[in-house]
Structure 1
Amino acid sequence: MSTQNISAFDKNLLGDDIQKLSERLEKFIAVEHQFVDGSLVISLNAKYGAGKTAFLDMWKSSFDNEDELKSKIHEFSEKPLIVLLNAWESDYMGDPLFAVVSALVDSLGKNDNENKTKLIEAAKDLGWFMTSLGTQFMESALGASPKIAANDAMNKNDERNNENILNHDSFSLYQHRKVAMAHLKDVITSLVNDTSKPSIIFMVDELDRCRPDYAIAYLETIKHIFDIKGIVFLLAVDRSQLENSARTTFGKDLEFSEYYRKFVHREINLPVITSLSCKKLVDEYVNKYIKGNGTRYSVMGFDDTTKNRIAGLIEVFNLTPRQVQEIFRILGHIGETTSNDNRHLEWCVVTGTILLLVLRVRNQRFYQTLGTGQLEPNDVYELFEGLSMNNSDYWWFKLCLTGKGLKIINKDRPYKAIIKLLNLPLDEMAFESSLIKFVQGWGSGPNSNFHGIYKHIENLDQWTSGSIYNQ
């Protein structure tokens, strides 16, 4: 199970704050949609891989769950129509208007053929006048070829306006386009039976992954066509990426916050992953990628102490679930072995591998310098300030020191020069004595250090032999 295919709040790995956010959102929407002139637009902000898609899937599922609806119709007097869209999937198709309309048609009930027909016919009428409309999307989404749609559109507009236009010049086409667009908006408005409550909620995902011009066109479409009271848009985006799209389109001097405010009434942030959620993710991914749900064998052992250290790294480095997933996929591969191999990697090798993979997705500079034994002493504090660097343990510092990840500045006792340089309040004799278990924990093989781990990761290699095992 990954965060991408979690579809229920009671099974999610992202923490209770996610479900609480959905409840707060419902209360907010139920009230605030009354205080905007048209549609209510909310921006749900989080970086790539943080769980936005999982949240949308879980929230939509909560509306589809009949048992939950019987016990609690959420915050709404009756269930709204939920339309879930992936904007990136329609990026190559042309105009976003038809992608949204198509999703709306698909979301209408099986027996709602009348409204489906009205929507499709109105979209076909407009289709010919939208010069950016592509043949492929017209045929796949609306079920008509452009030539047929063009003839139908012109004939129906002539009939609707009781006109017999012989020469469809540019101005006439513009006028007809306005009429067709207004008609489509009227049809969409007719789906909102009661403007006193949210009738349609569009959940839009992956808008920040779209081409800049398409992403901006999507926002403009929401503003101009779907600005209808009773409609709600929830845009799940990486705000910084969407800002880059806007600046690409309008120039680097664009004041994005003011520009975005034209479309969005409220911005909120997806809750950050909690300590408990980090542990849930680790348990889930150890079972899936290391143990293969009972189908995989690994030379990497994961006791509770190791799991807790991984969870601590996830929290300190603020990793997204997608980043954690990538780390465990790599761990699963390089540690895979056969069923009759009872060896296990030394515990320092396992933990050192995890630390390097965390840095690989979070800080490439530290990943390369630690992995090649060239981490500068001056960088030590920056790297470990969130990892117990300020208490008497110095656990991660000791791991890197004994794993030969730090640049040597004193061949006899490198740690002494580093301790002096960083002005660490340590008892040198006690500190040196505590390093013994770490030295033993690395093993004695030539690859029993960060450089050996680094080569395995970079070379798509697996541990199959050597003296870095705990026999």
Structure 2
Amino acid sequence: MDITALTFNERDEFKRKSIAEKAISLFQAEIDISPMVIDGSWGTGKTEFCHKLINLMNEQESHHLIYIDAFKADHANEPLMTVLAEVIKILPEDGCKQSFVKKALPAVRYSLKTIAKAGVSHLLRQDAADVFDDFDKQIQQAADKTLDVTVESILKDHVEAEKNLKALQEAMAEIAAEKPIVLFVDELDRCRPNFAVDMLEIIKHTFDVNGLQFVLVTNTQQLKASVNHCYGAAVDAQRYLDKFVKFTLSLPATLNTGEYNEIPASIEHYRNLVNGSPILEELNLGECGTLRTIDTMIAVNRLSLREIETIVRHIEIYVTLTQNGYLKTNSIFGFKMLAAFSIVVYSINPQLALSILNKELDANEIGKVLGKSNLSSDLQGYPDEQELICYMLGITAKYSSDTFKPSEHEADTWKQHGAAYFKGANWRTDDFSKVCSNVINALNMC
């Protein structure tokens, strides 16, 4: 599915339409929120939300909407050109484009003179042809002239810079006066630090124009790392960003399922993907109990939406390679539980998966991915699945085997519980890691 064409009506499994509607109300209000940040960690669905928001705003036809994938433009190393190129695309084909280019050209020429001629030529070869023919020709003429980088020339250019900048801002203000502009800059957190910081500063100092609003779709933590990379660890990156960012919208990591019950959005994503997979639909993974183990691992490890997609892809690969393997509908529950655990480990912690194969398992590492640090001291009833997996794999672990070793008077009880999960199976062993090894080997196509 083309993500750029997605709408909330087609898919809104994380109930984010109301967030988008509130964001739109801010764009339309007389509040200075630009630049605004749509913040989220890696793989939280920021880009999809951005496109759905744009498509929702398009229905109202109240703004010019511009989308920039900053990561794709990163190679050009010239954020001013990147933004202007997209602005030109929204202009009508009458004299408006030529007029804007004429006013913008001096500012662009000044920007080009601050980089080496070789860099300018590379930039023009890569991007100018895609922008606008007349714009291309005029900038090329500027680049073909000898770029005087002496101190005297730079000082003279600087005297003109304010005049050129004002002309560009006036040209932008004329466009925005007819119809406000919202410009979305996505993937800034994936860019080289210098480009990301340059983009921030261009937005702040060049495009501070009435009627023009910027939305940065990014991971704020990564953006802070870019600031520190450029200016040093001693710089307070948060205070630096506070000078640029007016408002931050953080995409929620949880989903309200009704009756004040919230679950991580990633768990809902997992369920939707499993239930919607034609490969997995007949396995009833959401009903056989393995869902509880995977739910816990998703929550404990705070997995992103992209990591969930990787897990489900690996489940599909496993059942395809093994013709369902341990996840068959009629398979013994213990096999299903350990298979689900093994696939998640293979997806999110390859080093742990390798230690299982090499019989160099550290019981503490098992506990970490399952959110357990020890066994219940006074077991009442049945242990939960995660605790039981820690027991099953911990008792034969090469390292830290005492972590999940039951007390002497409860050893038989734990052994009985472990056996109960494999009731009806012909397989008998105390080395439950063999099941995990089989699953991991299958994924490795061994």
TM-score normalized by structure 1?
A: 0.74
Q: Is the 8 A contact 1:442 1:449 kept in 2?
A: no
229 and 389 in structure 1: CA distance in 2 versus 1, 3 angstrom threshold: farther
Aligned to 1:431: 414
CA displacement, residues 286-332 of structure 1 (integer Å, 9 cap, x when unaligned): 35656189xxxx9x662523345434432333211111111122222
Aligned to 2:260: none
Given the alignment of the two structures, is residue 96 of structure 1 paired with residue 85 of structure 2, yes or no?
A: no
Q: SS state of the match for residue 325, structure 1?
A: helix
Write out aligned runs for 1:371-450 (5 A).
372-379=358-365, 381-385=367-371, 392-402=382-392, 406-407=396-397, 418-420=405-407, 427-440=410-423, 444=427, 448-450=434-436
Q: Quote the offset at 1:60 in angstroms.
A: 0.8
Q: Quote the offset at 1:260 in angstroms.
A: 0.5
Q: Is the 8 A contact 2:24 2:57 kept in 1?
A: no
CA displacement, residues 50-109 of structure 1 (integer Å, 9 cap, x when unaligned): 1100110111111223xxx4xxxxxxxx7122211111110011311111122222244x
CA displacement, residues 184-228 of structure 1 (integer Å, 9 cap, x when unaligned): 22111112227xxx9221121100111111101100110011111
Given the alignment of the two structures, is residue 255 of structure 1 paired with residue 241 of structure 2, yes or no?
A: no
403 and 450 in structure 1: CA distance in 2 versus 1, 3 angstrom threshold: farther
Aligned to 2:174: 190
Aligned to 1:352: 338
Match of 1:235 among 205, 210, 216: 216
Whole-angstrom distance in 2 between the partners of 1:405 and 1:441: 23
Whole-angstrom distance in 2 between the partners of 1:262 and 1:96: 19
Aligned to 1:160: none
Q: Quote the offset at 1:119 in angstroms.
A: 3.0
Whole-angstrom distance in 1 between the partners of 2:370 and 2:211: 51
Aligned to 2:303: 319
Whole-angstrom distance in 2 between the partners of 1:261 and 1:45: 14
Whole-angstrom distance in 2 between the partners of 1:290 and 1:373: 35
Match of 1:266 among 204, 223, 247: 247
Aligned to 1:53: 47
Whole-angstrom distance in 2 between the partners of 1:292 and 1:417: 33
Match of 1:306 among 290, 310, 313: 290
Aligned to 1:24: 22
Q: SS state of the match for residue 9, structure 2?
A: helix
Q: SS state of the match for residue 302, structure 1?
A: coil
Match of 1:456 among 431, 436, 442: 442
317 and 224 in structure 1: CA distance in 2 versus 1, 3 angstrom threshold: same
Q: Quote the offset at 1:242 in angstroms.
A: 1.2
Q: Is the 8 A contact 1:205 1:237 kept in 2?
A: yes
Q: Is the 8 A contact 1:45 1:270 kept in 2?
A: yes
Identity, in percent, stands at 17
Q: SS state of the match for residue 209, structure 2?
A: coil
Whole-angstrom distance in 2 between the partners of 1:187 and 1:364: 54
Output the amino acid matched with 1:84: Y
Q: Quote the offset at 1:120 in angstroms.
A: 3.4
123 and 330 in structure 1: CA distance in 2 versus 1, 3 angstrom threshold: farther
Output the amino acid matched with 2:80: L
126 and 153 in structure 1: CA distance in 2 versus 1, 3 angstrom threshold: farther
Whole-angstrom distance in 2 between the partners of 1:441 and 1:15: 40
Whole-angstrom distance in 2 between the partners of 1:182 and 1:432: 78
Comparing 343-352 and 266-275, the one that deviates more: 343-352
Q: Is the 8 A contact 2:185 2:216 kept in 1?
A: yes
Whole-angstrom distance in 2 between the partners of 1:57 and 1:191: 23
- The gaps in structure 1 that reach 5 residues or longer are 70-77, 156-167, 463-471
Whole-angstrom distance in 2 between the partners of 1:317 and 1:441: 33
Given the alignment of the two structures, is residue 286 of structure 1 paired with residue 269 of structure 2, yes or no?
A: no
CA displacement, residues 153-199 of structure 1 (integer Å, 9 cap, x when unaligned): 999xxxxxxxxxxxx954444445543333222111112227xxx92
Q: Is the 8 A contact 2:300 2:370 kept in 1?
A: no
120 and 367 in structure 1: CA distance in 2 versus 1, 3 angstrom threshold: farther
Q: Quote the offset at 1:366 in angstroms.
A: 4.4
Aligned to 1:118: 99
Q: Quote the offset at 1:367 in angstroms.
A: 4.3
Aligned to 1:135: 124
Output the amino acid matched with 2:415: E
Q: Is the 8 A contact 2:38 2:250 kept in 1?
A: yes
CA displacement, residues 394-426 of structure 1 (integer Å, 9 cap, x when unaligned): 21232354467851689xxx89971239xxxx9
Output the amino acid matched with 1:187: A
Q: SS state of the match for residue 336, structure 1?
A: helix
Q: Is the 8 A contact 1:372 1:454 kept in 2?
A: no
Q: May I ask how many residue pairs the two structures share in their alignment?
A: 414
Aligned to 1:11: 10
